[in-house]
Amino acid sequence: MFHKEGIAIIFTAFLVTAALIISIDYFEIKYGLPVQIFLIIMLVLILQFFRNPKITINTNENYILSPVDGKVVIIEEVFEPEFFNDKRLQVSVFMSPLNVHVTRYPMDGSIIYSKYHPGKYLVAWHPKSSTKNERTTIVLENKKFGKVLYRQIAGALAKRIVNYAKVGQEAIQGKDAGFIKFGSRVDLYLPIGTNVNVKLNEVVKGGITIISSK
């Protein structure tokens, strides 16, 4: 099963790959076989990137779930300047090109802020990527956790962030919140003192792994 954001890219990649493989055979191009193998590998990687497997959401009002698949690369107190203008607990998840790149709502709640920022394409682990790269910032609010911010961040390869969150709508925990095409990282900003259930370098699953619990 593939994500809807990848259908056009997959279709185009399939047509181009098929056309090139047939052309290589027809014109008997030298070293054609290695090129054909390379094209097939690239197509498989594109299919891998846009996959959207069915999962059972770990729904619970007492949980903040990981919004994406990947590895926890940051857990620290930082100053959040865009929305809160005070200190928050940042938990960041880095996605490799082989991870599922669907972004999911980490909790139920009202969407009270959603803003897109154009920017650079620094590597996702760069310290300034969360403020300099192309990104979207979304804030959810509920009675259990208060206001929680998550930020989709483009990386060196990401060229488009898709964000479905609109102010005034209700977020449903684990449902699709967007997609980062060929990128990269999502930051969560939690209230100071929030209990964190994950550790640095831990591999997490979007909609399944518990980042925080009450």
> Exposed, middle or buried, 19 (CB in 10 Å: 0-12/13-18/19+)?
exposed
Of the candidates 142, 137, 144, the residue with the CA atom closest to the CA atom of residue 188: 137
Cα separation, 42 vs 29, in Å, equals: 19
Cα separation, 150 vs 110, in Å, equals: 13
Would you report the helix, strand and coil content of the chain in percent, each value rounded to 5? 20, 35, 40
Kindly give, in sequence order, each residue whose CB lies less than 8 Å from that of residue 22, ignoring residues fewer than 6 positions away: none
Full DSSP string of 82-102: TTT-EEEEEEEEE--TTS--E
Full DSSP string of 15-45: HHHHHHHHHHHHHT-TTHHHHHHHHHHHHHH
The residues that are catalytic are: 184
